[in-house]
Amino acid sequence: MTELARGRGLSGTVSEFDAAVGLGSIRTADGDVFAFHCIEIADGSRGIEVGATVSFDLLAKLGRYEAANIRP
């Protein structure tokens, strides 16, 4: 079971993204890093530029948090 933590107002910068596999990570100003899969990009584009500033929610998944609902 997963739980989405909406409305937390998190923001950060895309620190890496591999379009071939659809995986990336976002680093917050506090230095926390959250992984994400391209299906979590809110506009449905499945791609995002490294260095883009984004806002996002957290998804509790398999004992860790991942970035979800990623909005440029």
Per residue in 16-56, pLDDT (tens digit) is 999 999 999 999 999 999 999 999 999 999 999 999 999 99
Backbone angles phi, psi at 38, to 5 degrees: -60, -25
For residue 19, what is the domain's CATH number? 2.40.50.140
What whole-number distance in Å separates Cα of residue 28 and Cα of residue 32?
5
Tell me if 68 sits within 8 A of 56, measured CB to CB: yes
Q: Which domain holds residue 17?
A: 3-71
Full-model pTM = 0.87
Give the dihedral sign, CA 27/36/70/10: negative
Is residue 9 scored above 70 in pLDDT?
Answer: yes
**How many domains, the chain?**
1
